Structure 1
Amino acid sequence: MNRVATGIPGLDTILKGGFIEKRTYLILGSPGVGKTILSLQYLLEGISNGERCLCINMIEPSSTMISNGESFGWDLSEIDMVDLTRAGLQTHGSYEVFSPAEVENSSIFSAVYDAIDQYKPQRLVIDSVTQMSHVSADHYQFRRQILCMMLKLSEMGCTTLMTHEPNALAQDMYTGLAVDGILMLRRELSQQKLVEVRSVEVQKFRGSDYAAGVHYFRFGDQGIKLFPSGRSSRRVEQMSSEQLVFGIDRLDALLGGGLEIGTTTLTSGPTGVGKSTLVAQFLTEVALKQSKKCLYLSFEEAPSSIIKRNEGIGIPLKECVDQGIVRLEYVHPRQYYPDELAMMTFEHLDEGVEVVALDGIRGYEFAMQPYGNPLNSLNNLLAELGRRGVTVVLTNEVEVIAGGELKATETGASHMCDNLILMRYSEFEAEVIKLIGCLKKRLSPFEPELRQLRIEPGPVGLKLGPKLQNLSGILTGVPTMAQSEQ
């Protein structure tokens, strides 16, 4: 089966290559959701391929449609347009598809056939079939005429989109049964009533597989851009035994030499314990010493603040950012759809990025909550990054400052990771100290011990002390000397 490209970024991916040639599809959606914009992009793609394209307007005058297209920088002059917003004024000729008596029953079909016969389109948009049903006095004849029109268009080799209102389709299910496919466009408010969410769902696609589920889209400078929902499965066998290091001897030894390429590492700890600092140390080390291009996505702290903080403790993050070997970006809450963020991340991979940092899971959850389950989206993103052999580091904030129940996360995200680094506060001899240890490594052994972490101003700001010996109850927050030493 030949495919007809839609010209809409992401939609051809969902449709496994585009619409099927010579078939008719319904574009459903409430007013203002983007049906006409989608249809015009489809026609513009045909024009770019040298195809004959026709748009029959029944709701919006052609002049208004052309003006709206100019807001996207579109030149619609090569699209043949027939304005039937004042349907019923055009006369008909003779047709062989059905009898003249039946044509007389609905002058709008007569006008549509006149346009089809005159322009002989390879791509056709009828905007909208809802209006055709409203001006047709007889529902039975309307159904017959719709079917006959679809058959004629298929015989002509025309691939057709017809826009329709969902409520009208519910009253006339025959049209939905007759067409070869249905795309439902939605515009809704998020559960918190803070964000407008636009999405598309393929409800029917006869003769072909397609990507099921809800796929988000937004309007950009060039029209609609769609973000296919990602569902990836990770393959552990693609991980490498080669390791990336932090550049801190005692920490790398604690981790059994470093982090294996292609693994995902979660660093978990309370606020202020040094999670983001540890990530910055890792990225600058692998960028400068191991020639790995990195992407640092911050969900909680502005880039200027991150750079200034790290400058004070001797971590050359600014140098790496200036050289372009670390790309530092702040992800504002609700700035991206989940799959839009994933697509942006994958674009960086195409530019050579091999290491990705997501700084912090809490911020990611807050940003993605309006669009469904954030952990599902995060799991899909991590699975695809792992499948591509990307090394990922994440940070997660736990609410417990010291002591309490030992949890890596409050959300159960630790199962997504291959390695788990634990950071905690503790009190010892009237001083608050920071602790670091490794709880899990999937591909290599590690040292099961806790060490004190110091973050101090100066050229070497991150320091690890020796193994904490002769102490018990460290993770309770109030360690004590072992009995034999007292």
Structure 2
Amino acid sequence: MVKPTVDISSGNETLDAILGGGLTANRIYLLDGHPGAGKTTLGLQFLLEGVRLGEKGLYVSLSETKDELYGIAESHGWDLSEIDIYELVDTTNSLDAESQYTIFQPSEVELGETTRRMLERVEAQNPRRVVIDSLSELRLLAQNPLRYRRQILALKQFFVGRDCTAIFLDDKTSSDNDLQLQSLAHGVVSLDRNPSEFGDERRRLRIVKFRGRHFVSGWHDFDIERGGVQIYPRIEAAYHELSWAKKSRVLSGNESLDALLGEGVAPGTSTLMLGPAGVGKSSCSTLFAVTACKRGERAVIFVFDESKETLRMRSAGLGMDLEEFEKSGLLEIHSVNPGDVSPGRFAYLVRQAVQPREDGARVSVVVIDSLNGYLSAMPEERFLQIQMHELLHYLGSCGISTFLIVAQHGMLGASMKTPVDASYLADTVILFRYFEAAGEIRQAISVVKKRDGTHERSIRELHMGDGKIRVGEPLRAFHGVLAGTPTYKGDINELIDRGSATRGSNV
């Protein structure tokens, strides 16, 4: 009769979710990664979870001393007193001349002795959870792949039927791509650590294999923080769809701008705001967030390119008091440093920020300012569209309207370039431009794409000043818009009067 399988926790809640519910009990697993990737930290979390559940744990150390492990635990605020730490390296007489082997090859004697002592300790303690750190020492003692595989296979047979779950750590120090244990282990988790050219190094993990279980494949970013490993799972939008009631259209509160958009944008859609620096993209997106807060809905703004205080001051100058809504809890502003955050961590921050609160208040608007900053956090530019597609799909499934800001390089004409083409990802594209009229540089706004309905195809003037954002009447006499250097040939009286607030729509 086959015993039913039982799931046990790895000690990391997020890793359990990625694994589809946790580890299958009474199996052996491989946790591999380069030195400093976080293997020991995850191994200790696994044993500490057993302590919490009243299970015996054994840490077999072939390389690190007990004091070094206590030092790691202290940095995380952990207590290892309930875990049996067994040092297999005897440092007291290893350098004595009398202790050196002369007749037999040292590896032949040491490998058998090391394995025997390890198994004796397991039999004496009868633990439910075991971590062996690390297999690279056994590989060096074995000296050849055949002996190493036989030794690992013997260890696997030893743990079978012992009501014990074992995790083997491996630091990938072998010169060849060693797949010996991967073929024998029930599951394999691989950790990776990549130094970046600037900012923090990037850590990530992936499940190489897990027999008989569906898991979230691909790379998942993670950080090592005080308290353990913090994992940021890759978004699988198809498995994270949330139910949301049908909402009314999302409006900016500016009648002319909403008319240009065909009465606002639909909930759950994404809007790309594209144009050169300083043309008004961020201010218009903030307008949607503030108007949502005025309706009693929540909004979240992620700022890459400026500080929170700068955003507050700039918005206050246009009649938008962000601090008022922050104090009420309707508005959250997150300042993101591209050098310190990985794309996976940023996606995790977004998902955490939009979770419904206990009072039932949901987020209706998310602003990402700007995509240029997000691109800086993603050096592999070819993957940015895929990352953004998954994030926008997730937000759309939650009924959240997302506003993406993209600053084009250059100011006018052919010199203007877009760092990444995300227009095909967005449901709506709003184009901002500078134009020349009567010896002045002015701003223009137009909607060039909208999937969910009709919109105006006219170009309107945009003016920010006197504490207001104003959108003028449709301007027909433009030339050179598509060339990137539009000029106005019409009646100057049709433009917004800079000295009066009577023309155009106010906030």
TM-score bucket (shorter structure) = 0.7 to 0.9
How far apart are residue 172 of structure 1 and its match? Answer: 5.8
**After alignment, is 132-141 or 173-182 more displaced?**
132-141
Per-residue CA deviations over 1:89-114 (Å, capped at 9, x if unaligned) read: 9xxxxxxxxxxxx9997111111111
Shift in alpha-carbon separation, 1:332–1:410, aligned structure 2, 3 A: closer
* Matched letter for residue 129 of structure 1: L
Structure-1 residue corresponding to 2:304: 299
- Indicate which of 321, 325, 332 corresponds to 2:337: 332
How far apart are residue 18 of structure 1 and its match? Answer: 1.9
- Indicate which of 20, 23, 26 corresponds to 2:27: 23
How far apart are residue 211 of structure 1 and its match? Answer: 2.2
Query: What SS does structure 1 have at the residue aligned with 2:350?
Result: helix
How far apart are residue 434 of structure 1 and its match? Answer: 1.0
Q: CA contact under 8 A between 1:275 and 1:423: conserved in structure 2?
A: yes
How far apart are residue 11 of structure 1 and its match? Answer: 1.5
**After alignment, is 147-156 or 79-88 more displaced?**
79-88
Structure-2 residue corresponding to 1:71: 75
Per-residue CA deviations over 1:173-197 (Å, capped at 9, x if unaligned) read: 433322222222222223x365422
Instruction: State yes or no: 1:453 paired with 2:462.
Output: yes
CA distance in structure 2 between the aligned counterparts of 1:139 and 1:405, rounded to whole angstroms: 59
TM-score, normalised with respect to structure 2: 0.85
Shift in alpha-carbon separation, 1:103–1:120, aligned structure 2, 3 A: farther
Query: What SS does structure 2 have at the residue aligned with 1:413?
Result: coil
Query: What SS does structure 2 have at the residue aligned with 1:210?
Result: coil
Q: CA contact under 8 A between 1:231 and 1:380: conserved in structure 2?
A: yes
Structure-1 residue corresponding to 2:469: 462
Structure-2 residue corresponding to 1:84: 88
- Indicate which of 56, 66, 71 corresponds to 1:62: 66
Correspondences of 1:60-209 after superposition (within 5 Å): 60-86=64-90, 106-136=112-142, 140=146, 142-168=148-174, 170=176, 173-190=179-196, 192=197, 195-209=200-214
Shift in alpha-carbon separation, 1:68–1:256, aligned structure 2, 3 A: same
How far apart are residue 309 of structure 1 and its match? Answer: 1.3
Per-residue CA deviations over 1:146-198 (Å, capped at 9, x if unaligned) read: 323212312012111011232438476433322222222222223x3654222
- Indicate which of 416, 431, 449 corresponds to 1:440: 449
How far apart are residue 205 of structure 1 and its match? Answer: 2.1
Per-residue CA deviations over 1:115-137 (Å, capped at 9, x if unaligned) read: 11111111110111222333457
Structure 2, gaps ≥5 residues long: 94-107, 492-507
**After alignment, is 197-206 or 369-378 more displaced?**
369-378
Instruction: State yes or no: 1:265 paired with 2:256.
Output: no
Q: CA contact under 8 A between 1:402 and 1:477: conserved in structure 2?
A: no
Structure-2 residue corresponding to 1:99: none
**After alignment, is 304-313 or 314-323 more displaced?**
314-323
Structure-1 residue corresponding to 2:103: none
CA distance in structure 1 between the aligned counterparts of 2:448 and 2:146, rounded to whole angstroms: 70
Per-residue CA deviations over 1:251-293 (Å, capped at 9, x if unaligned) read: 11121111111111111111111111111211111101x2110
Q: CA contact under 8 A between 2:191 and 2:204: conserved in structure 1?
A: yes
How far apart are residue 87 of structure 1 and its match? Answer: 8.8
Q: CA contact under 8 A between 2:370 and 2:406: conserved in structure 1?
A: yes
CA distance in structure 2 between the aligned counterparts of 1:2 and 1:179, rounded to whole angstroms: 17
* Matched letter for residue 379 of structure 2: Q
Identity of aligned residues (%): 30
Per-residue CA deviations over 1:366-422 (Å, capped at 9, x if unaligned) read: 122269733322222112111222111111112353444998x45210111111111
Query: What SS does structure 2 have at the residue aligned with 1:344?
Result: helix
Instruction: State yes or no: 1:48 paired with 2:58.
Output: no
CA distance in structure 2 between the aligned counterparts of 1:105 and 1:256, rounded to whole angstroms: 76
How far apart are residue 321 of structure 1 and its match? Answer: 2.1
Q: CA contact under 8 A between 2:292 and 2:364: conserved in structure 1?
A: no
Query: What SS does structure 2 have at the residue aligned with 1:414?
Result: coil
Shift in alpha-carbon separation, 1:238–1:114, aligned structure 2, 3 A: same
Shift in alpha-carbon separation, 1:8–1:278, aligned structure 2, 3 A: same
CA distance in structure 2 between the aligned counterparts of 1:478 and 1:470, rounded to whole angstroms: 8
CA distance in structure 2 between the aligned counterparts of 1:359 and 1:307, rounded to whole angstroms: 14
TM-score, normalised with respect to structure 1: 0.88
How far apart are residue 435 of structure 1 and its match? Answer: 0.9
CA distance in structure 2 between the aligned counterparts of 1:229 and 1:327, rounded to whole angstroms: 23
Structure-1 residue corresponding to 2:97: none
Instruction: State yes or no: 1:374 paired with 2:380.
Output: no
Instruction: State yes or no: 1:318 paired with 2:323.
Output: yes
- Indicate which of 344, 348, 370 corresponds to 2:349: 344
CA distance in structure 2 between the aligned counterparts of 1:367 and 1:174, rounded to whole angstroms: 36
* Matched letter for residue 341 of structure 1: F
Q: CA contact under 8 A between 2:260 and 2:446: conserved in structure 1?
A: yes
How far apart are residue 29 of structure 1 and its match? Answer: 1.9
Q: CA contact under 8 A between 2:271 and 2:402: conserved in structure 1?
A: yes
Instruction: State yes or no: 1:362 paired with 2:372.
Output: yes
How far apart are residue 455 of structure 1 and its match? Answer: 0.7
Query: What SS does structure 2 have at the residue aligned with 1:440?
Result: strand
Q: CA contact under 8 A between 1:359 and 1:395: conserved in structure 2?
A: yes
- Indicate which of 267, 277, 283 corresponds to 2:283: 277
Query: What SS does structure 2 have at the residue aligned with 1:321?
Result: helix
Task: Spell out structure 1 runs of 4+ moving beyond 6 A.
Answer: 102-105
How well do the aligned residues superpose, as a CA RMSD in angstroms?
3.0
Q: CA contact under 8 A between 1:103 and 1:109: conserved in structure 2?
A: no
